Amino acid sequence: MKHSELNIFKENGQKIACLTAYDASMAKLIDSAGVDIILIGDSLGMVIQGAENTRSVSMKDMLYHTEIVAKACKQALVIADMPFHSYENAQTALANAKELINNGANMVKLEGGSENTEVIKALVSNDINVCGHLGLQPQLVVDSSGYKVQGRDKDSAQIILDNAKILDSLGVDILVLECVPSNLAKSITNSVTIPTIGIGAGKECDGQVLVSYDMLGISLGKQPRFVRNFLNSENTITAAVKAFVLEVKQGNFPAESESY
Ligand code: KIV
């Protein structure tokens, strides 16, 4: 997928399938299996480094994983997470985002809404493609008790909706919505011009993302309800990834039981 195709997908109602990757082998497999977007998520803090949250991931870590994943991707759009503390002001954010782009990312992702206005303006005016991230913001979560559905009441839902509109007006290209009720994700999706990519946000989003290790059953312990193990019904990892892509494209993932 090219960056210029994002809005065409939304306009045509074509769903966007996204998975995370952190290494070359998995990136190559996921890319060949037809995923539209590969995200080098700072979930690598938990998945690769065994940390309790994403906050210890550094720019050095992100640059390393971005470079090896980007080199392995032929067709997917590559998005790299900006780690905690890497976008505290416009100048720092711009310098760090440029490094991620130089290492092969097509776009950078950062968490938060209007508080990032100056940062986003600096990135957009320097032609850096930006992915927003609202709802549950993992960089604000310190331990597992913080992983909660966001925007359940009227006021907090309104804040998320307002922030989505602000990000859209600032020129953000695409928006991840994490752990929000389906009806809120639906109204955000209908209120913004950019595609929304849900994780625990229901099937009305313009696309879906999962952590690859979660949807292959590699992550141990109790999984959130929005995680489906696609390897349960397939024999190979490639088949599981293809099944994910198909289920997203056909609007069959997530089911209501996998949503809030
Ligand atoms: O870091 C990550 O993998 C993410 C996804 C959960 C969207 O941000």
**pLDDT tens digit sequence for 77-127:** 999 999 999 999 999 999 999 999 999 999 999 999 999 999 999 999 999
pLDDT > 90? residue 2? no
Sequence-distant (6+) residues with CB within 8 A of 77 are 1, 2, 3, 6, 36, 37, 38, 106, 107
**pLDDT above 70: percentage of residues in the chain:** 100
Tokens of residue 55, six digits: 């906050």
How many DSSP H helices and E strands does the chain contain?
10, 8
Nearest C-alpha to atom 4 of ligand 1 is from which residue?
Answer: 41
> What is the rounded distance in angstroms from the CA atom of residue 254 to the CA atom of residue 199?
9
Task: Quick: pLDDT tens for 134-188.
Answer: 999 999 988 877 889 999 999 999 999 999 999 999 999 999 999 999 999 999 9
Specify the pLDDT at position 147: 87
Distance 43 CA to ligand 1 centre (A): 6
Tokens of residue 63, six digits: 């640059």
Ligand 1 binding pocket includes 254 (Cβ within 6 Å): no
User: Contact, 65 vs 73, CB < 8 A?
Assistant: no
With tokens 């109790």, the residue in question is: 222
Distance 233 CA to ligand 1 centre (A): 24
Q: What is the dihedral of CA 208, 212, 218, 219, to 10 degrees?
A: -60
Alpha-carbon distance values, 156 to 25, 135, 138, 162, 189 (Å): 40, 9, 17, 10, 17
